[in-house]
Structure 1
Amino acid sequence: MAFPPVYGPDSRTLIVGTWPSPKSREQGFFYGHPQNRFWPLLARLLGAPVPQSVPEKKALILTHGLALWDTIESCTITGASDASIRDVVPADIAGLARKAPIRRVLCNGATAYRLYEKYSRVPGLEAVKLPSTSPANAAWTMDKLAAAWGNYLGEKAAPGAERL
């Protein structure tokens, strides 16, 4: 089950993952696995408390000019293994970019980036491959993730990178 995109009239940066994990599907929202560092990372970079409920998570995204979606509308997958993804039907990211003022796509991990580039690339939108917040990406500590993602989000945004 794919989730609809979270976006608003001020959403300038779209963060995309691949496909909801079993825990996310169980909870009915993006990044639902308790060990995924997505929500704590965003909260840290945006100077906000870690959201707990779906409404709090949506508010964090929308308050900071972000949008959130996945690169895949539907697929065949085994468990949460991105490596097993096949039969991909891509999400209509170009359609979303026509509805919101999206200028940049931040890909949460190499697989999200690869899928975005293969199926959904939107001409004129900068696409950035960032390290995955998945607990499977244990080599990246929270501090390392914050340094990489902080170049594009929050107070640490690099000079020349449009701050959100």
Structure 2
Amino acid sequence: MTPEELSAARDRIVPDVAAGGLRVLFCGINPSLMTAATGHHFAHPGNRFWPVLHRSGFTPRQLRPSEQAELLDLGLGITNVVARATARADELSADEFREGGALLTAKVEQLAPRWLAVVGITAYRTAFGEPRARIGSQDRTVGGARVWALPNPSGLNAHWTVQSMAEEYARLRDAVLNVRPNDRPTPDPDSAH
């Protein structure tokens, strides 16, 4: 991708990967220029969404961004809080996030996913007026869907490793599957010998 091609992708809108009745609708902050240039969500090579999605157990193998449509067969989808592509999320205003939250609520009402997973706590806080929200399951619903705030998989988010993100995404997967921590099978200590 040339700098000119990336620059030309600024402000483009990337179509959602979505359908009615999904188990989880993942919601990014907004498309990167690489995503807008390719038309594939989480396409930047430094973005860890696809490896994390696989390691957390949501996908049977690590999908490439160009295989994003395969998510629908797994009951998963992708949208964004703000639709327009930028080089950095800090180019978005608080008003854009709030407007995006309202539009997202309407979209979720229409699509009726069981869970909305917002991938970026700051975006969630701003879009939905929840300044004290933490990573994890939220008390509120959006458009009738339960909400989980997840860490942003951008390579710029150095506070989270692929492994620690995969563990948090797996907590969501367990909630989606209604698996409580005590329901997980425990290894038989005698079988290790």
TM-score (norm 2): 0.68
Taking the aligned partners of 1:129 and 1:41, their CA distance within structure 2 comes to 15
Taking the aligned partners of 1:129 and 1:65, their CA distance within structure 2 comes to 19
Shift of 1:6: 1.2
Taking the aligned partners of 2:37 and 2:161, their CA distance within structure 1 comes to 26
The 8 Å contact of residues 52 and 163 in structure 2, kept in 1 or not, is answered as no
1:59-138 to 2 correspondences below 5 Å: 59=70, 61-74=71-84, 77=86, 79-80=87-88, 82-86=89-93, 88=96, 89-90=99-100, 92-118=103-129, 122-138=142-158
1:134-145 to 2 correspondences below 5 Å: 134-145=154-165
Q: Structure 1 pair 29/151, CA: closer, same or farther in 2 (3 Å)?
A: same
The 8 Å contact of residues 105 and 126 in structure 1, kept in 2 or not, is answered as yes
Q: Structure 1 pair 48/134, CA: closer, same or farther in 2 (3 Å)?
A: same
TM-score (norm 1): 0.79
Shift of 1:117: 1.2
Q: Which runs of 4+ in 1 moved over 4 A?
A: none
Which residue identity lines up with residue 50 of structure 1 in the other structure?
Q
Aligned residues: 152
The structure with the greater share of residues assigned to helix is 2
Taking the aligned partners of 2:25 and 2:126, their CA distance within structure 1 comes to 15
Matched residues, percent identical?
Answer: 26
Q: What do the CA deviations read for 1:64-94 (whole angstroms, capped 9, x no partner)?
A: 211210011348x5x22x2231261527323
Counterpart position of 1:15: 26
Counterpart position of 1:42: 53
The 8 Å contact of residues 16 and 112 in structure 1, kept in 2 or not, is answered as no
Q: What do the CA deviations read for 1:105-152 (whole angstroms, capped 9, x no partner)?
A: 11111133124414xx73532222111111011221111011111101
* Runs of 5+ consecutive residues of structure 1 not aligned to the other structure: none
Shift of 1:38: 0.3
* Runs of 5+ consecutive residues of structure 2 not aligned to the other structure: 1-11, 130-140, 179-193
Shift of 1:4: 2.1
Q: What do the CA deviations read for 1:36-84 (whole angstroms, capped 9, x no partner)?
A: 0001111222242222252x2210x212211210011348x5x22x223
Greater RCO, 1 or 2 (C-alpha within 8 Å, sep 6+): 1
